[in-house]
Amino acid sequence: MGILRPFLGFAVVLVIPAIVLSGQNRAGLQKKGLKRDQTRMVRGKVTEVHRDGDSDNGYFVMRVQDKKQAKGNAKGKYDTRKFQVLPVTKFAIVRGDKREPGSFKDLHEGDRVVVYPMDDRPTFARLVEIREGKTKPAK
C-alpha cells in the first residue's frame, strides 16, 4: 500500500481535474447550441468577399459540401457558411508544401480555402489557408 500511495495522489491531483475540465468545454458548447464539429476546420470555395474599407475587418461566405452528399445520399447540394474576419485572423497562402503569409486582401471569389474557426466563436475565423494549386485547363 505504501508504494501505491504516491500514484493515488497523482491521480487525484492531475487526472480528475482534467476530466472535469474536458466536460466543461463540451457543456459550454452545448449551452451555445453548438456541436463539437462546428468548431473544427471547414473546407470549401469562397463565393462572396466583403471588406470593411481598407481595414482587415469583414466577412466572407463559402460553399461547403453537404454532409449528406459526402455519404452519397444526395448530389449537387451545398451548404454555405459565413465567417467573420477580425484583425487577429491569420492568413496563409499554401502552394504544395510551401506556406507563405497572406492577408485578407489575398482572398478572392473562387479561391479554395481551409478555415479554422475560433474555439469559443465558430463563426469567426482564426486561421484561413488559401490553397493554390494546379488550375484545370479550359474545355
From CA 82, how far away is CA 48, in angstroms rounded?
9
Residue 28 confidence (pLDDT) above 80: no
pLDDT of the residue at 97? 86
Q: Of 47 and 54, which is predicted with more confidence?
A: 47
Confirm whether 138 is domain-assigned: no
Domain that holds residue 84: 40-132
Mean pLDDT over the full length of the chain = 77
Indicate if 77 and 46 belong to the same structural domain.
yes
Indicate if 67 and 110 belong to the same structural domain.
yes
Termini Cα distance of the chain: 77
Confirm whether 137 is domain-assigned: no
Indicate if 22 and 47 belong to the same structural domain.
no
pLDDT of the residue at 93? 93
pLDDT of the residue at 77? 75
Count of structural domains within the chain? 2
CATH assignment at residue 117: 2.40.50
Indicate if 9 and 56 belong to the same structural domain.
no
Indicate if 9 and 48 belong to the same structural domain.
no
Reported as a pLDDT band with limits 50, 70 and 90, residue 10 is low
Confirm whether 139 is domain-assigned: no
Share of the chain above pLDDT 70, in %: 60
Phi/psi of residue 86, nearest 5 degrees: -115, 170
Reported as a pLDDT band with limits 50, 70 and 90, residue 82 is very high
Indicate if 128 and 100 belong to the same structural domain.
yes
Reported as a pLDDT band with limits 50, 70 and 90, residue 65 is confident
For the chain, the three-class secondary structure string (H helix, E strand, C coil) is: CCCCHHHHHHHHHHHHHHHHHHHHHHHHHHHCCCCHHHHCCEEEEEEEEEECCCCCCEEEEEEEECHHHHHCCCCCCEEEEEEEECCCCEEEEEECCEEEEECHHHCCCCCEEEEEECCCCCCEEEEEEEEECCCCCCC
Residue 22 confidence (pLDDT) above 60: no
Indicate if 63 and 28 belong to the same structural domain.
no
Decide: 116 and 126 in contact? Cβ < 8 Å: yes
Confirm whether 51 is domain-assigned: yes
Q: Of 95 and 9, which is predicted with more confidence?
A: 95
pLDDT of the residue at 34? 52
From CA 21, how far away is CA 120, in angstroms rounded?
15
pLDDT of the residue at 78? 82
